[in-house]
Amino acid sequence: MAEVKSNSAAPAERKLSWVEEVEEEEAASKSAPSWGEAAASAVDALAIGQGNFNSFLDEPQSNIKLVTTGDTPYISASTFEDLNLTPELLKGLYMELKFQKPSKIQAISLPMILTPPYKNLVAQAHNGSGKTTCFVLGMLSRVDPNLKVPQALCICPTRELAIQNLEVLQKMGKHTGITSECAVPMDSTNYMSFAKRPPVTAQIVIGTPGTIKKWTSAKKLGVSSVKILVFDEADHMLAEDGFKDDSLRIMKDIQRMSAHCQVLLFSATFNETVKNFVSRVVNDHNQLFVKKEELSLESVKQYKVNCPDELSKIMVIKDRIFELGENLGQTIIFVRTRHSAGMLHKSLVELGYEVTTIQGALKQEDRDKIVKEFKDGLTQVLISTDLLARGFDQQQVNLVINYDLPVKHENHSEPDYEVYLHRIGRAGRFGRKGAVFNLLMSERDQMLMEKIEQHFNSQIAQVASWNSAEDFKGALKAAGLL
Ligand SMILES: Nc1ncnc2c1ncn2[C@@H]1O[C@H](COP(=O)(O)OP(=O)(O)OP(=O)(O)O)[C@@H](O)[C@H]1O
Ligand SMILES: [Mg+2]
């Protein structure tokens, strides 16, 4: 066990953003204090993770720097037992989720979440490092099972992520009797008149901002007993081009109605703008951050491939990815627009390949079906807009293709660094091996790629020829996938 303590003082559904599209979508901040040295070294000393699949948690890249507010001492947890969880929750962790021990972010953040006076927390940790468990366990532990009203709220940017998080919560909380509900737009097959809906009695609600707002304003969701409010993908939830207005509104409504509500913000990315904003709106919080240069996953090998034209990009997918990737696991191909999603889908199907495609314009029930089929392993290759760039967790995904690179909405010459990181983080979950192929066609693509390399201070290897099977085999071998 390591003691982590520091004296430093102290982060419609419909807004178009990375989730949608027509063009789909450093260290301490100025106002934040410098890292507590003692705390940081205590964190570095933590060695969590075992076995080959989560070995990345031992690597230096997962050095999480933290700053605590006040003088509450936090003892990081090397086992789940250290967290004083109920036997029912331990059963959920060991028997339903089959976890053996906490990951690094879980070891550090859970004591902060669960120790009175229940301080707010802004927590950054790598993609696939187990952040969901931190806040799900936080919510389940803090709910009073005897009080049959909403006590914990978790807000997510997409329907898919809300559903996925609810599934994790229901598995983890299976033996607790704690009730939960998903607040996402209804699909037309289960349509029930909104006015006739009884008020929510579930103790934990996970949903998207638009629906949560709709339910609270219509008094279908009471928030006066909410004592823990979680934002998953928090940087996007508080970004100007994300869900900032909705998130602030929900936060304020709860703070007005409820005596003390702990706010938890989790994401793998927090850019400087959001970091600064967070320290203004969330007071008296503990913080955990990772430098952007240390954010790329070492277990996921990134490549760039020069393709002379659109057709060659399709041929790379057909001849290399389908042929070589077939026995490797599942693949996600990210595209920037719904239009290119449709075009690519059509081209591949015409060539006789089986793919499914998900994007925001599909009907809710179709989106749910496509995700379920992919999660059940019934489909191998999924084309997606940035709808699934964040949070989507499927351990079998070890190939990610960037059919085009993510760019900022307002300026297409500027990469969207955060979305890039989240996209490639769909592979290599919890330390697994993975490979990413960035398909580059124009000078602009080259320039975007260079900027991405500079930003994360990482050199991305080149696949020498787009039409050489040997080159791709070599790349996959180097990634440890062949
Ligand atoms: N302690 C643990 N032991 C084993 N597996 C774990 C543990 N914690 C989490 N996992 C697994 O790791 C995977 C990634 O977890 P999770 O989705 O919470 O990552 P994340 O940090 O939220 O990533 P992202 O930033 O991409 O959303 C999941 O499949 C989860 O079941
Ligand atoms: Mg997540």
DSSP string for 419-430: HHHHHHTTSSGG
What spacing in Å lies between the alpha carbon of 107 and ligand 2's midpoint? 16
Whether the Cβ atoms of residue 297 and residue 450 lie closer than 8 Å to each other: no
Residue from 109, 131, 236 whose mutation best tests the ligand 1 pocket (most atoms within 8 A of CB)? 131
Distance between CA atoms of residues 97 and 230, nearest Å: 21
Does ligand 1 come within 6 angstroms of the Cβ of 203?
no
> Which regions in the chain score pLDDT beneath 50?
1-61
Which atom in ligand 1 lies closest to the alpha carbon of residue 97?
Answer: 31
Classify 369 as helix, strand or coil. Answer: helix
Among candidates 115, 161, 131, which has minimal Cα distance to 286?
115
Distance between CA atoms of residues 181 and 191, nearest Å: 16
Does ligand 1 come within 6 angstroms of the Cβ of 131?
yes
Does ligand 1 come within 6 angstroms of the Cβ of 157?
no
Bridge partners (DSSP) of residue 332 are 382, 400
Please report the pLDDT score of residue 34 as a whole number: 27
Residue from 83, 89, 110, 132 whose mutation best tests the ligand 1 pocket (most atoms within 8 A of CB)? 132
The DSSP 8-state label assigned to residue 30 in this structure reads S
Which atom in ligand 1 lies closest to the alpha carbon of residue 391?
Answer: 27
Whether the Cβ atoms of residue 390 and residue 158 lie closer than 8 Å to each other: yes
Distance between CA atoms of residues 320 and 314, nearest Å: 10
What spacing in Å lies between the alpha carbon of 176 and ligand 1's midpoint? 21
Q: Which stretches within 195-337 are classed as H helix?
A: 209-217, 234-237, 244-257, 272-281, 310-315, 323-325
Does ligand 1 come within 6 angstroms of the Cβ of 393?
yes
Query: 64-294, what's its fold?
Result: Rossmann fold (3.40.50)
Please report which helix (H) or strand (E) contains residue 154, including its range.
strand 152-155
What spacing in Å lies between the alpha carbon of 445 and ligand 1's midpoint? 31
- Among protein residues, the one whose CA lies closest to atom 9 of ligand 1: 130
Domain ranges of the chain: 64-294, 301-479
Distance between CA atoms of residues 103 and 100, nearest Å: 9
Amino acid at 84: N
Does ligand 1 come within 6 angstroms of the Cβ of 233?
no
- Among protein residues, the one whose CA lies closest to atom 8 of ligand 1: 130
CA atoms within 13 A on the CB side of 459: 3
pTM of the model: 0.90
- Among protein residues, the one whose CA lies closest to atom 24 of ligand 1: 127
Tell me the Cα Rg of the chain. 22
Q: Which stretches within 116-243 are classed as H helix?
A: 131-142, 159-172, 209-217, 234-237
Query: 301-479, what's its fold?
Result: Rossmann fold (3.40.50)
Q: Do the domains 64-294 and 301-479 sit in the same CATH topology, yes or no? A: yes
Does ligand 1 come within 6 angstroms of the Cβ of 130?
yes
Burial of 299 (0-12, 13-18, 19+ CB in 10 A): buried
Residue from 57, 90, 95, 133 whose mutation best tests the ligand 1 pocket (most atoms within 8 A of CB)? 133
Structure tokens at 82: 């250290």
Does ligand 1 come within 6 angstroms of the Cβ of 104?
no
What spacing in Å lies between the alpha carbon of 193 and ligand 1's midpoint? 36
Distance between CA atoms of residues 324 and 337, nearest Å: 26
